[in-house]
Amino acid sequence: MAMHTLDTLIRHWRDDAGGTYRTWFLWDERLKNFRSIRRGLQVVVQDIQDGTFGTQYRGSSLETVVHSIAEQRQIFKGADHAFLWKPKLRIPDIYEDPGHQRAFGHFLDTCACCSTEADLVQAIRTLDARGIKGLGPAAANLMYFLHPTLMPPFNTAIVNGYNALTGARVKLGKWEEYLALRAGMLRLTAEHRSQLSNDLGAVAGLLFDVGSGRYAPPPRGADAADAAAWRADLERVREEGQAAHRAKDTAQSQDATHTQVQGWLRDLGRALGYEVWMAANDRSRPYGDGRLGDGCLDTLPPGIAGTPGADAVRLIDVVWFERGTLAPAAAFEVEHTTSIYSGIVRMLDLALGAPERTVQGLYLVAPDAREADVRDQLRRPAFRAVSHLNMRYLPYSELERHREAMARFGQGLRAVEAVARAL
């Protein structure tokens, strides 16, 4: 396959409003989820080490993490299937065999702690040598969120896309096949460095779109007519993606957007006398006649910036700090359509990272229709130990209805507490 032909495919993929590059790889929430998934895997390791992991997937800390990965839009849809306990086949055998469970925990712990390619490959080979039935390279999806520049995601569509583009015969189910796929994906990334990020999610997204049938692979022959027809198909897919994207934008414009709700919270916090922090990756978004970060803190207070969870705290949608002392008063995660789990973890990094600075209020702000989702997330085993923090749910409708009155007549957090709901 000619290099320039693949360049053409990559350019169309990057421009396609409906392809994984724009809908997933450039999605702000994708980056936010890396830290929360890492923290979740640490909980899995600790549960296994403490002997409290249990004997089934449902209700385990592993389910919490894998569910968060499966929420990462279409590329990870079905990621939990490989970890579901299948009693008739007794796979994957990490629930009822304590030795296999500990080996899996050691694998995750090693991957979380090491930082070199050689160590990660050795961790794979050590796990593979155990011969744990049903525990195959689907676990690479966990590794990706620990080491995105070294370990790519893995699923059927990615494998099919790789084989279609390269003519390879990589198969599913074996770690050796995954390592061969990984080597090829690294080569593709190096050969097209000007268009593909060193985050292997980029090349994985490209292969996913080819393997799932969104794009046909480039013709292998030199026939000009075949090449012209293929380019015409690419253009058609791109135009359809742009039309679908415009229709989606029109539908979403009827709802309160994530940015709009952040703006409400910014203005309400300032009216109540707080200094406001806006998520670092959102502060430059247009809002009103200016930017979302206008009038907000430029940096986190020193007492927060120096804590282990500071990188996650910077991504909390809105934080209110007491004027003068800059002690954290309240944190808000706006969950319009995104992963609720990740927002919870970021607020816990704030609340638990500096215990001498008690946060008075932790709020999940979401559409009224998502209340059940919010409650389901707080019931997960991973959050039982922090129930004393009294995280609360703030519905969009209550915020929209009462925010102006709260700004005019409210004092501190009392007005917010009055309309928030206990979880």
Instruction: Please write the tens of the pLDDT for every residue from 259-291.
Output: 999 999 999 999 999 999 999 989 998 998 899
Looking only at Cα atoms, what is the longest distance across the chain?
Answer: 74
pTM over 0.85: no
Q: Would you say residue 217 has pLDDT above 80? A: yes
Between 256 and 119, whose confidence is greater?
119
Q: Would you say residue 241 has pLDDT above 90? A: no
- Residue 41's nearest CA partner among 375, 379, 348, 345 is 345
Q: What angle (nearest 5°) sits at the alpha carbon of residue 398, between those of residues 395 and 404?
A: 135
- Between CA 421 and CA 423 the distance in angstroms is 6
Q: Would you say residue 1 has pLDDT above 60? A: no
- Whether the ω angle into residue 219 lies within 30 degrees of 0, i.e. cis, is no
pLDDT score recorded for residue 255 = 41
* 3 state DSSP class of 98: helix
- 69-121: per-residue pLDDT in tens? 988 778 898 888 999 988 888 899 999 999 999 999 999 999 999 989 999 99
Q: Would you say residue 367 has pLDDT above 50? A: yes
Between 236 and 77, whose confidence is greater?
77
Q: Would you say residue 160 has pLDDT above 80? A: yes
How far is Cα of residue 14 from the mean position of the Cα atoms in its chain? 20
Angle between helices 258-271 and 396-409 (to 10 degrees): 20
Give the pLDDT band (50/70/90) at residue 376.
confident
